Amino acid sequence: MSMKSIFDAKEVRSEFEKASINASFIPLIWKHVITHHQNPNNTNTNTNTNTITTAIDWCEIPSLPSAAYSLLASKFKPLTTTLHSLHRSSDGVTTKLLIKLQNGSFVEAVVMKYDTRLGKYDGKPRPGGPRSTLCVSSQVGCKMGCSFCATGSMGFKNNLSSGEIVEQLVHASRVDSIRNVVFMGMGEPLNNYAALVDAIRVMLGSPFQLSPRRITVSTVGIVHAINKLHNDLPGLNLAVSLHAPVQDIRCQIMPAARAFPLEKLMDALQQYQKISQQKILIEYIMLDGVNDGEQHAHLLGKLLETFQVIVNLIPFNPIGTLSQFRTSSEEGVSRFQKILRGTYNIRTTIRKQMGQDISGACGQLVVNLPDKKSIGNSSLLPDIEDLHL
């Protein structure tokens, strides 16, 4: 039987409770695992990291109750995943992590560096300075089958456990100091709802201490889960992969949209916004001749004009022979943005593409393709914190 991850919080708390061990020791154990072994690889080249992980001896953790040591050794592993390899973009801004799961499958996570001291955002000065955002996966593959996304070509393999989700943050923290986490990697996060909620609760607590305002969950629009999300994780950022302003186009490019009619989705978002009082990020991929015309911009503007949203226009990333789509022209994207801003006063950004040279850009995430090309799904806005500007 496979061992559980020490970051599977529910499992650890349950075992500690059975053994009458105080759960307050758990964050201390997590902190030890996170800090005990740092990644010695600081090069800027693509690197295989198979040999860098050193086993952690539970006995090295000081001041635990004696019963905790034997329990940890018999039930849990410090990490059930391994950092198989990492690839850095030529500009050093994007790092793609290939992570091997205990069952032999692979997922990818992408670290994106931003320096917000450079320039302005939507005419406003940007706060802060350098910071890094981690894009994590929630599933191996995806059930949604979006025709413009490489992950959908894999089909669905399995859900990640909450520990496997958190371990992506652990691995990434050895590469860079992570400030923001976005669930925009492989999979539909709300289709793995219980593990998603458990993982985020770990990230919000000690020792990670992330703010809910710095965590974003992206969904194609799983209505029943959106209705639960704010109660379970208040203060979280919600991003919705809308990609079309009318139901028939959504169904054409996003087969899963048939199960979640646009009218019901917009009702759920209206209710979510009423409760949360937060902006919603609307993701919209620009597909030449499909959803990028002026008429589509007007339809989208009318659909969203009563909401507090940021629309993020995403230039389509080619995915080789898997795609029948073309990238919208820069002029077309700019015209689309001007209509939303000028006619409907909707805040609209164009996503900065990062990591394309390592196939780490949006919509390119897939592993184990026949041509062995490993691809990634990343980036949003200039940075997710700009939701709050």
Q: Convert the pLDDT of each residue in 168-204 to its tens digit.
A: 999 999 999 999 999 999 999 999 999 999 999 999 9
Residue 43 counted as domain residue: no
Residue 58 counted as domain residue: no
Rg (CA), the chain: 21
Q: What pLDDT does 1 receive? A: 61
- Active-site residue among 11, 108, 167, 283? 108
Q: Which residues of 234-247 are buried (b: 16+ CB within 10 A; e: fewer)?
A: eebbbbbbbbbbee
CA distance 288 to 359: 21
Q: What is the pLDDT of residues 267-290, one digit of tens each?
A: 999 999 999 999 999 999 999 999
Q: What pLDDT does 138 receive? A: 97
CA distance 130 to 234: 27
Structure tokens at 239: 């991003």
Q: Please report which confidence band the pLDDT of residue 321 belongs to, taking 50, 70 and 90 as the band edges.
A: low
Burial label, 80 (beta-carbon count in 10 A; 0-12, 13-18, 19+): buried
Q: What pLDDT does 145 receive? A: 82
Residue 2 counted as domain residue: no
> Tokens 């950092």 appear where?
83
Residue 165 counted as domain residue: yes
Residue 339 counted as domain residue: yes
Q: Please report which confidence band the pLDDT of residue 150 belongs to, taking 50, 70 and 90 as the band edges.
A: confident
Residue 190 counted as domain residue: yes
| Residue 359 CB neighbour total at 10 angstroms | 23
Examine the residue annotation and report whether 108 is marked as an active-site residue of this protein.
yes
For the residues 296-302, what does the mean pLDDT come to?
98
For the residues 355-368, what does the mean pLDDT come to?
46
Q: What pLDDT does 353 receive? A: 65
Q: What pLDDT does 50 receive? A: 44
* More confident of the two residues 177 and 320: 177
- Active-site residue among 135, 146, 149, 362? 362
Q: How many domains does the chain have?
A: 1
What is the extent of the structural domain holding 326?
A: 80-388
Q: What pLDDT does 372 receive? A: 36
What CATH number corresponds to the domain at position 298?
A: 3.20.20.70
CA distance 6 to 61: 13
Per residue, the 3-state secondary structure of the chain, as one string, reads: CCCEECCCHHHHHHHHHHCCCCHHHHHHHHHHHHHHCCCCCCCCCCEECCCCCCCCCHHHCCCCCHHHHHHHHHHEECCCCEEEEEEECCCCCEEEEEEECCCCCEEEEEEEEEECCCCEECCEECCCCEEEEEECCCEEECCCCCCCCHHHHHCEEEECCHHHHHHHHHHHHCCCCEEEEEECCCCCHHHHHHHHHHHHHHHHCCCCCCCHHHEEEEECCCHHHHHHHHHHCCCCEEEEECCCCCHHHHHHHCHHHHHCCHHHHHHHHHHHHHHHCCCEEEEEEEECCCCCCHHHHHHHHHHHCCCCEEEEEEECCCCHHHCCCCECCHHHHHHHHHHHHHHHCCEEEECCCCCHHHCCCCCCCECCCCCCCCECCCCCCCCHHHHHC
Whether residue 292 is predicted with pLDDT greater than 60 in this model: the reply is: yes
Examine the residue annotation and report whether 59 is marked as an active-site residue of this protein.
no
Residue 16 counted as domain residue: no
Best CA proximity match to 344, nearest among 382, 309, 313: 309
Residue 14 counted as domain residue: no
Task: Name the least confident of 138-142, 148-152, 361-365.
Answer: 361-365
Q: What pLDDT does 14 receive? A: 98
Q: What pLDDT does 91 receive? A: 83
